[in-house]
């Protein structure tokens, strides 16, 4: 186990989502370790396992950390977190680090979606969040993939291969699944159905973006950002380029780690901290 000097102690950020839990261990500008694990039915256990995995990769233990900040819907389940911060703030902070000058963050996770507009200083200016149903989220796509009998990771490429998308009239997961089954029974090609699903998600996000005011440059975070079909549908619908980081699911955890570093510095210098 490596020795860590007090003045350079690392910090960690954890994002406990409905489908996955991510942790980033940060020291200065360096990511020492990270992990991405399924949340499963026990967010508390997922938080413990994710932190342990990230610390193991970093060659550290919990006592080395100066601060641990938790975010995400399950942040109250993080048993060893020093602070808990909303995912809106953390996604904005993480996106700002990955794309300096970012104006809008589109986050589509397992069970919710968000559009966050930042001001020129990088603070949250406005946001809108859909967390009342799974429409247009990762869970929505999982259900559609099962109905189509297509692996989830193949949805993006299959949708992009279609010359057109079939209109999907409902974004309610239950009704959309029935609609997909009906389209299959009518003999419509799977790629055209998939492209229609991607375009329906883009249409929903467009409505959210119009409510907060889309400000480029735009970065997309969350697991759905790994679906190229959804990203391309969003680009066409919003008429802007969209940056996708190499690990879009880690943006919230990175933002939490950056906030942890800031809080640790404030406490070390005798600062009173800030409400977030």
pLDDT computed for residue 134 by the predictor: 72
pLDDT computed for residue 275 by the predictor: 38
187-227 residue pLDDT tens: 999 999 999 999 999 999 999 999 999 999 999 999 999 99
β-bridge partners, 220: 106
- 3 state SS of 6: helix
Alpha helices of the chain — where are they, by DSSP H? 43-58, 87-98, 138-148, 155-160, 173-185, 190-212, 228-238, 251-268
pLDDT computed for residue 132 by the predictor: 66
- List the structure tokens of 170: 């409902």
Residue 47 scores a pLDDT above 90: yes
| Helices and strands of the chain, counted as H and E runs | 8, 10
CA-closest candidate to residue 141, choices 128, 154, 129: 154
Distances (CA, A) of 78 to 29, 39, 46, 110, 251: 24, 12, 9, 19, 18
Residue 236 scores a pLDDT above 80: yes
In order of start, what are the domains of the chain with their CATH numbers?
A: 1-99+250-276 (3.30.420.40), 100-244 (3.30.420.40)
Evaluated on CA atoms 181, 183, 184, 185, the torsion sign reads: positive
Q: What is the mean pLDDT of the chain?
A: 92
97-146 residue pLDDT tens: 999 999 999 999 988 999 999 999 999 999 999 866 777 888 899 999 99
User: What does DSSP assign to residue 7?
Assistant: G
Spatial strand order in the sheet of 30-38: 30-38, 20-27, 11-16, 67-71, 83-84
pLDDT computed for residue 131 by the predictor: 64
CA-closest candidate to residue 65, choices 23, 125, 18: 23
pTM as predicted: 0.91
pLDDT computed for residue 89 by the predictor: 96
CA 187/CA 71 separation, integer angstroms:
44
Residue 2 scores a pLDDT above 50: no
149-171 residue pLDDT tens: 999 999 999 999 999 999 998 87
- 3 state SS of 9: coil
Count the helix, strand and coil residues of the chain and give each as a percent rounded to the nearest 5: 45, 20, 35
């Amino acid at each position: 186990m490596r020795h860590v000097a007090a003045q350079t102690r690392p910090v960690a950020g954890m994002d406990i989502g409905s489908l996955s839990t991510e942790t980033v261990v940060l020291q200065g500008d360096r990511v020492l370790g990270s992990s991405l694990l399924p949340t499963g039915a026990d967010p508390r256990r997922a938080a413990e396992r994710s932190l342990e995995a990230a610390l193991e990769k970093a060659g550290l233990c919990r006592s080395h950390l100066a601060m641990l900040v938790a975010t995400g819907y399950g942040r109250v389940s993080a048993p060893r977190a020093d602070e808990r911060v909303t995912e809106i703030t953390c996604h904005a902070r993480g996106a700002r680090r990955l794309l300096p000058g970012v104006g809008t963050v589109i986050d589509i996770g397992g069970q919710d979606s968000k559009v966050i507009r930042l001001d020129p200083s990088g603070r949250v200016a406005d946001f809108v969040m859909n967390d009342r149903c799974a429409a247009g989220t990762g869970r929505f796509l999982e259900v559609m993939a099962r109905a189509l009998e297509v692996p989830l990771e193949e949805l993006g490429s299959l949708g992009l291969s279609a010359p057109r998308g079939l209109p999907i009239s409902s974004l309610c997961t239950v009704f959309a699944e029935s609609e997909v089954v009906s389209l299959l029974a009518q003999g419509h090609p799977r790629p055209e159905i998939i492209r229609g699903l991607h375009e329906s998600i883009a249409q929903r996000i467009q409505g959210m973006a119009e409510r907060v005011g889309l400000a480029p440059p735009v970065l997309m975070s969350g697991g759905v950002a790994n679906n190229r079909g959804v990203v391309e549908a969003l680009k066409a619908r919003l008429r802007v380029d969209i940056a996708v980081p190499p690990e879009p699911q880690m943006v919230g955890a990175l933002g939490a780690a950056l906030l942890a570093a800031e809080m640790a510095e404030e406490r070390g210098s005798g600062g009173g901290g800030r409400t977030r």
